[in-house]
Amino acid sequence: MRQAEQARRRAEELREQINYHNHRYYVLDSPVISDAEYDRLLRELQQIEAQHPELITPDSPTQRVGAAPLPEFGQVKHAVAMMSMDNAFNETEVHDWDRRVRQGLELEGSATYTAEPKYDGVSINLRYENGLLTQAGTRGDGTTGEDVTVNVRTIKTVPLHLRDSGWPKVFEVRGEVVIPKKDFERLNAERLKNGESAFANPRNAAAGSLRQLDSRITASRPLHFFPWGFGESSAPVAQRYSEAAKRLKDWGFRVSELLRVVHGIEECIAYYREILDQRERLPFEIDGVVYKVDDLGAREQLGYTARAPRWALAHKLPAHEETTKVEDILASVGRTGVITPVAVLKPVEVGGVTVSRATLHNEDELHRKDVRIGDTVIVRRAGEVIPEVVSVIKDKRPRNARRWHMPKKCPVCGSQVVREEEEAAHRCMGGLYCPAQRMGAILHFASRNAMDIEGLGDKLVEQLVEKGMVKTVADLYRLKVPQLAGLERMAEKSAQNVVTAIEKSRRTTLARFLHALGIPQVGEATAAVLAEHFGTLEAIMNAGHDALEAVPNIGPTMAEDIRAFFHQKHNREVINKLIAAGVQWPKVARRKKSTALSGKTFVLTGTLDAMSRDEAKRKLQELGAKVSGSVSKKTDYVVVGKDPGSKAAKAKELGITMLDEAAFLKLI
């Protein structure tokens, strides 16, 4: 009995502490303990409740983790209808609304309003009885919504029990469930990584999260709740909405820091312009600003139309999304050679800017969204971000809509297009020659850790490319002082300095030269390894895939990129011109390393205790062995750690030598 009482008291104490820290972290954004310490408190409470299920309360922090899936959602009847709001799309409409408000209240002077951002999320109604959250419902048709109580309990910024005191016995809070922009990006990245489709926008993600029958999925989503109004209440909360908002904050809600009391319509419009200017920097998506009469008694006096309150107005921001038609899809080659499909659109105004092109990111994303030439699509633009095609309106797809595929040859220079294995990017391999990559190739070639040509910066390179003075990096070695001195922001002395730096760069090292070529995936370290392993540029240029993959730290995809780069005729022509221009380096002393494992092929599967798989791979490569990702008849050894995968079974089937960790360590 005494033990049970101790458990009850400790559970109450832990709930109080955890709720306090939840409030500090999610509402006040001011934590006072570490995440690890918070996790220890939560685990202790979970253990007590597991041993004493009778101690579990509806408002326990442990109840936010989600429960077993529901067969379906129930319905919620709203005691006070959740009405829509009238919209204004220009300042004239805002002034007209203000005039109607002042006439309705018989005001000679200006009215006092509250102004706050209109969050672009999902509206819900929270019902509290005696301070305890008892029900949560979606807006639905305004009178009946879906019962999403179990899911809403998982949202950290929704109090399960109201804090402080003074709340009515029955009290309904209305607000918006939203997902922060950064969390939305992470959520979509995870979904794409797992082979799932991405959400179109944060609002769509919030709606999908709230409508999960399995609330454990909802619990894993980064949902936040911001209150904006009230439903049924058994007693008045305050005389003014601005006062009520302060009380909501005291009771545990996260109230928008941008909520402000404004006097007269000019201050409303000034607030709107301020928010419009901040829009892209705000952590959440918004689609407008809401003005409301601050005096709650005056709201009752103004009343409602058939669909909306007369005392509130949503002043909409310029749309981020519009509908238009895909007239064509082109392959755009970037400065680094990455090829991006771009939709050519029927021009449409989005967010105050005329948009005629939008990115489709990569071929996988294009096919996932199933965008075809001729489709009607939704286009999105946010701030300075390049417009993108969000989704296809398939009901409007014409019969002659055409699929698009990545070209096998670069549309700019005709070089081979290679897709990186296990990556979404396609890349033009004509890096030294391709006009689309010209500026990027020159800047990289001249960079400090490559050929180190001081003074060859962005502005100068831009002029050299625009005026046709440099078409490939080999042309740098033909530049003369008078040519450079005639360019903008250049004088005789600065031109001489650049020419001197170019002359100096003729003497380099093989490793620096390889790095300067801009071979995909080949940085300084890999360039040094290649130089040391092969000794000569000719040997590297003529090396096959297997010879390259035998080099330490070079895997199959990197080996293919190197082979493909040197296989391009245009790249070889530029390299020959560089050598002819006098670029040279001292002979490389090759490291002679031959071990019993040289040339042997290993495959690693399972977990090792002594080292990570990457460390094991590195040690094998240092000993001259090759590490492959798949088992074949060419495999010499398969190293089997704990919890091996299908590779172990295949090795057994093929009769390949299998090493446990002890045998592997002895071998190396």
d(CA 97, CA 102) in angstroms, rounded, equals 9
For residue 519, give every residue at least 6 positions away whose Cβ sits within 8 Å of its Cβ, in sequence order, or none: 431, 561, 562, 565
> Is 207 exposed, middle or buried, given 0-12, 13-18 or 19+ CB atoms closer than 10 A?
middle
Pick the closest to residue 275 from 295, 263, 260, 264 (CA basis): 260
- Residue 383, phi-psi category: left (phi > 0), alpha (psi -120 to 50), beta (remainder): left
Torsion of CA 539, 540, 542, 548, to 10 degrees: 120
Query: Across the strands, what pairs with 322?
Result: 379
CA atoms within 13 A on the CB side of 185: 5
Task: Report yes or no: 582 and 631 within 8 Å, Cβ to Cβ.
Answer: no
Distance, CA of 141 to chain centre: 33
Phi-psi region of 284 (alpha: psi -120 to 50; beta: other; left: phi over 0): beta
Distance CA 572, CA 565 (A): 9
Q: Which two tokens stand for residue 646?
A: 């299908």
Amino acid at 557: T
- Catalytic amino acids? 118
Beta-ladder partners of 55? none
Q: Which residues of 331-352 are buried (b: 16+ CB within 10 A; e: fewer)?
A: bebeebbbbbbbbebeebebbe
